Amino acid sequence: MTTRNMNTGFEIGRGALVGPIAAIEATTLDESAATRAAGGETERIDVTLAVNGQMRSLTIDPRTSLLDLLREHLALTGAKKGCDHGQCGACTVHLDGRRVLSCLSLAVQTDEHAVTTIEGLSGSDGELHPMQQAFIDHDALQCGYCTPGQIMAAVACVEEGHASSAEQIREYMSGNICRCGAYVGIVAAIQDAAPKMRRT
pLDDT for 23 equals 53
Q: Kindly list the domain boundaries of the chain, sorted by start residue.
A: 8-35, 43-120, 125-200
Q: What share of the chain is helix, strand, coil (3-state, %, to 5)?
A: 40, 15, 40
What is the per-residue pLDDT across 150-191, written as a single tens digit (0 to 9) for each?
999 999 999 999 999 999 999 999 999 999 999 999 999 999
- Residue 30: C-alpha distances to residues 17, 34, 45, 151, 161 (Å): 20, 6, 22, 43, 48
CATH class as words, domain 125-200: mainly alpha
Q: Quick one: CATH architecture of 43-120?
A: Roll (3.10)
Q: Tell me, what's the pLDDT at 13?
A: 52
Given a cut of 70, the residues of the chain with pLDDT beneath it are 1-41, 200
pTM for this predicted structure: 0.79
Question: Residue 10: its pLDDT value, please?
Answer: 47
